[in-house]
Chain A
Amino acid sequence: MDATSTTEWECCWDRDSIAMGDCPHIGEGDEDLLLSRSRRILEKCCECEGFARDLIRFRDSGHPLAPIFSILHADYRRQKNQIQSLGAFLDTKTLEVRFLHELGSVLQSSLDLDEVLSVALTAITAGKGFGMNRAFLLLADKERHILKGHLAIGPRSAEEAGQTWHEIESGDQDLQGLSQVFRKHKLNAERDKFHDILERLTIPLDDEQHVIVRALEERKPLLINDAFHRQDVDMEFARLLGVDTFIVLPLIARNRRVGVIIADNFITHRTISEQDMQSIENFTFPVAFAIERASLYERLQEKVDKLRQVNLRLQEQQEQLVRMEKMALVGRITSSIAHSIRNPLMVIGGFARSILKNTPDNDPKRTFIESIVTEAHQLEEVLGEILTYSDALFPTCDFWDPNQLVESALRDVQERAMAQDYQCCFHAAEDLPAVYIDFKQTSYCIRNILLSTIDGLQNGSIDISNRAEGEHVDVRIVDSSRTLSEDELEALLTPFSETREMGSGLSMALSRSMLDKQNIPLVVIAPPEGGVTYIIKLPTRKEVSYEQTAGS
């Protein structure tokens, strides 16, 4: 049969136009090919099995041009395939460039280390990124000269992997979105999850035999295959990762070794290609710079914070200095006035006493002179307290025995207590730590509390105890004989309160003020059902204050 003379060709190449359905390769959207013969032949017929069979028939016909047609057809198909694969490669590279651009913009704009790390590790492990299963980040500790596991990401089991990847797929988020979610909700959880591995991922930077250090020294990524059987991979390190294939990506910025990323396909065991390596290598440069920059920024922030704190402290100290100067001035004025009054007062009181001595008991003027003596004496006591108050502005602290402190105060009030038949019972605790106080002032305060308790009452009792409470020794003075209303309690602690007699009006407020100066709180508890408890919390360390430890 002469194939060239017959019209019974299997393919439609010999027809100028065809109808829909005549060619099995032309469907909806390709209607223009029905009427364009040349385009139809190039786009469809060359791939059609019918056309191939027609060519065989033509070759079999013995026509001299037939072999040429077959050669041309085969070469055309080869070149077309080549163009198609180049196109696919170009598409992949375009996507990669876009991805790197997106990544680069995020990395360059961020100064937050956690954000940078989240973006970097998400990019390595996300399907839309490099699609690795796990990634470990080790950062260089320049002071300790080691690489230390800092963060890891990825599943630890197939089950977890399935769940995570399903969530990511259904979420349909871009890389930035994924890294934001990771940073916000998963960063710490992942760190905890890989805590056991990260803790042990410590590599000395001077261990030049270690494959990780080698990657850093050579400044190029390494693909490690068959890790369990290689001489240059530490067996313990390979066991720790649990995979025999992984890549090591050195992070170097401006000749400084920032760290290393180790990535693997722990779950899927997908082969890591050279192309994967190349793509990831391009990505490591911006990551290294971003980490370096964010770390520097973090350190800078720390320095700024420290500077701010120092500034604040300096400001506080300046204010305190001004306050102290004012207080010193008040103290000097108070002291000066008190001294000016004391001498004439002493003369008045002294002569009144002299006159009183020589005045007969039945002299009607004796009562007046007695009043002068009493009033002068009371004024002298008030002056004494004012002078003590001005002295109290600057306490001198040292370490003292708390039991000795209470005993000293008790000795001072013993005579008055006995005169009023008052029982003072002191339970001294053993092995108490020394307390950091101004002994004179603190003893004065305890004496004042005891005197104000005894004052005006007969046959009462006071219970005093010492006990260690954390970084303090509590001195508790319990007076069960007295009941104080809220107003009385407030008046007790207010200087120059009008509800108290002049002589003792200052003493409790002065005690409180003295203790305040030493950062020692005086707590007074006066429940309505009766009894008054005074608690003085004495610090056992120089820097301890009540606010720091009790938080109130």
Chain B
Amino acid sequence: MNRLLVVDDEANIRLLYSEELADEGYVVETAATIAEAVEKLAQQGFDLAVLDIKLKNESGIDLLQKIVKERHDMPVILCSAFSCYKDDFSAWLADSYVVKSGDLTELKEEIKRVLAKKAQRRSAEM
């Protein structure tokens, strides 16, 4: 089972993602802050991270850069209410970008696609 880390400062959104993504068969861990996320990332292995961009006074982009630097094998999907981040160069480090919506179909499809791509890459390396 793939392990996902969801980082969002909104408790309800963390709950929604946990429920919905667990229904899809993933093991979901959540974090409300960058510090919490970093801690969990250090303790456990994850196959993919879903990051919100605006985390109260912090930026998910900073966390994205940290992950890319330290855990470059772990794909990241940015998920935000700000569609304009699609045009931001710093957001291009992410493997995918999804605009937040009550309909999680797009997010679920992107998670599947990115994980499949990661698996392909791994098998090619082996």
Contacts and interface: CB of A to CB of B under 8 A. Distances in A.
A347 B103 contact: no
A346 B84 contact: no
Interface in A333-381: 338-339, 342-354, 357, 373, 376-377, 380
Q: A interface, by DSSP: helix, strand, loop or mixed? A: helix
A87 interface: no
A203 interface: no
A342 B10 contact: no
Interface residues of A, number: 24
B94 interface: no
Contact of A347 (B23, B54, B99, B102): B102
Given A354-B16, A354-B19, A354-B20, A346 B101 contact: yes
B83 interface: yes
A342 B103 contact: no
Given A350-B16, A354-B20, A384-B83, A343 B101 contact: no
B13 interface: yes
Contacts of A376: 102
A380 B102 contact: yes
A348 B99 CA distance: 16
A353 B82 contact: no
A391 interface: yes
Contacts of A350: 13, 16, 20, 102-104
B81 interface: yes
Contacts of A373: 102
A348 B100 CA distance: 12
Interface residues of B, number: 18
Interface string A377-406: 100100010011001000000000000000
A415 to B, nearest CB: 15
Given A339-B81, A387-B83, A391-B84, A380 B101 contact: yes
Interface in B75-91: 81-84
B44 interface: no
A347 B82 contact: no
Interface in A246-300: none
B12 interface: yes
B102 A377 contact: yes
Given A373-B102, A377-B102, A347 B16 contact: yes
Nearest to B11: A347
Given A384-B83, A391-B84, A343 B20 contact: no
B86 to A, nearest CB: 10
Contacts of B16: 346-347, 350-351, 354
Given A345-B102, A346-B100, A350-B102, A339 B20 contact: no
B83 A353 contact: no
Which of A346, A349, A384 is the most central at the interface, judged by chain B CB atoms within 10 Å of its CB?
A346
Contacts of A344: 12
Contacts of B99: 384
B109 to A, nearest CB: 15
B2 to A, nearest CB: 20
A39 to B, nearest CB: 114
A346 B83 contact: no
Given A342-B100, A377-B103, A347 B83 contact: no
Interface of B: 10, 12-13, 16, 19-20, 23, 54, 81-84, 99-104
12 contacts: A339-B54, A343-B81, A343-B100, A347-B10, A347-B12, A347-B102, A349-B103, A350-B103, A350-B104, A357-B23, A373-B102, A380-B101
